[in-house]
Structure 1
Amino acid sequence: MLYTAVAAGSFRRYATYRMATVAGVFTNTVFGFIVAYTYIALWDERPHLGGYDQAQAVTFVWTGQALLASVALLIGGVGELQERIRTGDIAVDLYRPADLQLWWLSADLGRAALQLLGRGVVPMAVGALFFPLALPADALTWACFLLSTTLAVVVSFALRYLVALACFWLLDGSGLAMISGLACMFFSGMVLPLRVFPGGFGELAQLLPWAAMLQVPADVLLGARTGGSLLRGLAFQAMWGVLLLAAGRLVQSAATRKVVVHGG
């Protein structure tokens, strides 16, 4: 019940920033149009590039815009946690009768739920009005997509949590967070679907944890993963989520043995 309350509180907290949500919807929609027309021009020259037809490629664009904020595809760390570590306020968190990792995971799930509703649904709806999107007609595919999106948020949080914990050793973790954000943007499929990448490089990119954040959920929505392929995709996401959360647990244990407050 504690972590459910944390998630609900985080949802309500982000819901208060209405103008920020409206601005985010506008930004996602504008960039969706720009990237969609870029993809249309590319797929006009290379039909079925990466195994997608043009409608699927454009749907991939709007899926990325819908998940951009909820999965935190451009954010390299957990900003508030990084700041609390830097200032030493993390000591208060460690005294709470709650697990630090589960506390922040619950808060991130609440944030992601609000962002999916606030900054995900509207851009996708606008995209569907102006472009012929390849959206599924059956409820089961949508349910699998929501499950895959939830796993994507968990993987994203686990990676960002590791970056944030690095602040226990670094005076400023913003540089590492920026590198992590750039890696996520490229290897998640935000720039181009990973299926487009050539040869062994493309195969490697699809095995990295960032692929679990956008490429897999998008493929689930597009119907590119069905049956056994769908189960393997979900298992791939779950595997990276468990591994990264376990790594975060180990790093957290090492970091909290001796808490150093930077600056005094």
Structure 2
Amino acid sequence: MHPTAIVAEGASIGANCRIGPYCMIGADAVLGRDVVLVSHVVIDGHASIGDAVQVSPFATIGMAPQDLKYKGQPTRVVIGARTQIREHATIHRGSVGGHGVTTVGADCLLMVNAHVGHDSTLDHHVILANNVMLGGHVQIGDTVFVGGGAAIHQFVRIGRQVVVGGMSGVEADIIPFGAVMGNRARLTGLNLIGLKRRGFPRPQINILRAAFRSLFRHAGELRDRMQVVEAEHGQDPVVQEILGFMRADSHRGLCRARRVAVEDDDATES
């Protein structure tokens, strides 16, 4: 621990942690083993930091939510193991208007100046590139990549293995395995390169492509198209995951595909 660091009485510091110059750790913070705070890091409130998390200079974790209804209640933030939080990133603790906790999963990467708003939930292996902004109550599934400068509206849900293009403005829920881009963001296809990199077999990818076309490229009411996909591909667990996501309660509705379809444009790299 550097002599200029300030650690409040009551904070719990795990074994083999390294706390650099001018860091400030609040009384209700809990740090796991092997945590590295490089310098000028602020950890406030009821914050739980997992093993081997690395936090770069001027990042803040657990500061009060940007919510005018918040009156200092003991809400929380939880950071999973091995996550990297880069310079100037901000993660706010939960609010009483939400479920009271902001969660960032294991093995995530929050690049420079990323912001995670109150009550948001990031699953594992999520990457937020530089200057990504998450409003409050955002839910992000496993292995999602959000490109630089993207803004995600509060209460948006993003399914697993989604890729969000840089500078996109996302105001609606994104189905698992989707790719979106634009302001306002629209589905451009499936994250096919990401699927291949993560070992999805060719027959599975072909089923997903057929289901995507039926759901988002064909005419008719969406509920009717969903029934068609259920009938044709309902035995496939990944298709069922997409349909279940689409049927779940939503504050924001579903992100839809672009109006003009381009031949084979459901191939998108992540």
TM-score range, shorter chain: under 0.3
Greater relative contact order (Cα < 8 A, sep 6+): 1
Query: What TM-score does the superposition give when structure 2 sets the normalisation length?
Result: 0.24
User: In proportion to residue count, which structure has more strand?
Assistant: 2
Q: Structure 1-normalised TM-score?
A: 0.24
Bigger fraction of residues in helix: 1
